[in-house]
Amino acid sequence: MNGPIRRVAVVAMLMFALLLANGTYIVLFRQGPLDAMPQNRRVRDAEFAQNRGSILAAGKLEIAATVPSKDRFDYQRSYPAGSLYAPVTGYFSYDHGSTGLENTYNTQLAGTADSLFVRRMIDLATNRTPQGASVQTTIVPKVQEAAATALGGQKGAVVALNPKTGAVLALVTSPGFDPNSLASHDVDKADRAYDELAGESTQPLSNRAAREIYPPGSTFKLVTAAAALADGKSPDSKVKAPNRLRLPGTSTYLPNSTNCGGTTVTIEQALKVSCNTAFANLGLEVGEDKLREQAQLFGFDARHLTDLGGVASQFPDSLDDAQLALSSIGQYDVAASPLQMAMVSSAIANDGVLMDPYVVSSVQAPDLTPIETRKPRVLSTAMTPGNAEALQQMMGVVVSQGTGSNAKISGVEVGGKTGTAQSDPKRKPFAWFTSFAPLDDPQIAVAVVVEDADIPRNDIAGGRLAAPIARAVMQAGLSR
């Protein structure tokens, strides 16, 4: 072989070697990202043609299912309860991807997860139609239905937790959407439905329970009270409660929306009537660092319920005294999700132990073999048992004698806290309520937010609007 031919042969072999190496690299390292590309319609066609696994509520109730379809996709994704469980399941759409558990557990539901490899091989060998795994959630249908009914058409959200385990019992947002319209095999129809929902000013696609944060208003006074107890104070400790408080370093006055019962009151009295000036002074006494530390022990500044894309609630950095006073009553730049405020009540109810919230308890293969199992986990010790018991009793007084009376349940002692938050002088306030029951053996903790509360700005919106919703959810949780 002469020299020129030899050189051409060597170059050809090198090119073939590089081609093989590139092909191997793509198969081993780029298959996942390439499969996930929105432009890859072959993958989407294959996904829509699969017998996708079910998403289940407690009691094995199917809240997302797959039924045979007489069209090019073979199987149709279905949501039997329409919008009721949409904040949990999310949607599974041809052109618009997936959200919620449909997205987080996509490979398990589709049957393509590594944990289902042996099952796929068996299906291939036996020529059996592959089937995805099922995802078991902690949602309790009775509690979810009660939350949705009580919230009704009001814009807002409800979260209910089991304080002893962290299991999410209900997660509702309003307005919502019907995921069936987005899962339609009529792709043009599904696209029109998505465009309509995405263009709505009320943002029905938003998960207000876990993915939106709001000023928590006076419900944050629970955090301030916990910080004060940790600082050595007691429910009977006295704090100044003037009719209005001049914010340090400013000419602005912070008013009270209620009669505090005197110009010096106990912390318990201040919580009972939701006295702004008392809690602003209490926050100034405790200090920025201790208040922030307490907030973080309750879960602020960290993401939770990542299965549903939960976002972090926020306690602001680098506060001056005026900002600290406002932050102590849940204003300034304090922002919390309903999930976060349910976690605050949950930790107080559970003798100071904050459990990590979770919505999926297990993933099971089609033959019911467990693939993943989620056990309750402690997230932090937010309070000592003694301080938690003291705050439980104070929250009980809020409901039995104070601003939370609309949350009373006959024959059951309830602990709670109202909140009215103002984010913009031109906007109606947010109405909050967070609570737990029963007082002596808590089984359920709840947080409710109603946006744009249509009542006077100086009224106790949380007691008027949000407390009755929380009561209905607690009643459902206690009677299951």
| The two three-digit tokens of residue 198, written as one number | 């995405």
Q: Is the pLDDT of residue 119 over 70?
A: no
- CB atoms closer than 10 angstroms to residue 211: 18
Q: Is the pLDDT of residue 308 over 60?
A: yes
Give the per-residue pLDDT at 88: 98
**pLDDT band at residue 289 using 50, 70 and 90 as cut-offs:** very high
- Among 257, 248, 249, which residue's Cα sits nearest to residue 276? 257
Give the per-residue pLDDT at 11: 77
The residue-averaged pLDDT of 387-394 equals: 98
CA angle 75, 78, 79 (to 5 degrees): 165
Q: Is the pLDDT of residue 407 over 90?
A: yes
Q: Is the pLDDT of residue 99 over 90?
A: yes
Residue with tokens 């359920």: 444
Question: pLDDT tens for residues 44-89?
Answer: 677 777 889 999 999 999 999 999 988 888 899 999 999 999 999 9
Q: Which CATH number fits domain 217-360+376-478: 3.40.50.150, 3.40.50.1860, 3.40.710.10, 3.40.50.12780?
A: 3.40.710.10
User: Are β-strands 55-57 and 134-137 bridged in parallel, bridged antiparallel, or unpaired?
Assistant: parallel
The residue-averaged pLDDT of 120-148 equals: 80
pLDDT, the chain, mean: 90
Contact, 339 vs 159, CB < 8 A? yes
Active site residues: 218
Q: Is the pLDDT of residue 241 over 60?
A: yes
Q: Is the pLDDT of residue 458 over 50?
A: no
Q: Is the pLDDT of residue 242 over 60?
A: yes
Give the per-residue pLDDT at 167: 98
Instruction: Provide the percentage of residues in the chain whose pLDDT is more than 70.
Output: 89
**pLDDT band at residue 12 using 50, 70 and 90 as cut-offs:** confident
CA angle 317, 323, 326 (to 5 degrees): 115
Q: Is the pLDDT of residue 455 over 70?
A: no
Q: Is the pLDDT of residue 461 over 50?
A: yes
| The two three-digit tokens of residue 251, written as one number | 């000419």
CA distance 394 to 273: 11
Give the per-residue pLDDT at 181: 96
- Three-state secondary structure along 296-337? HHCCCCCCCCHHHCCCCCECCCCCCHHHHHHHCCCCCCCEEC
Contact, 151 vs 158, CB < 8 A? yes
- Among 201, 225, 155, which residue's Cα sits nearest to residue 431? 155
**pLDDT band at residue 457 using 50, 70 and 90 as cut-offs:** very low
The residue-averaged pLDDT of 215-230 equals: 97
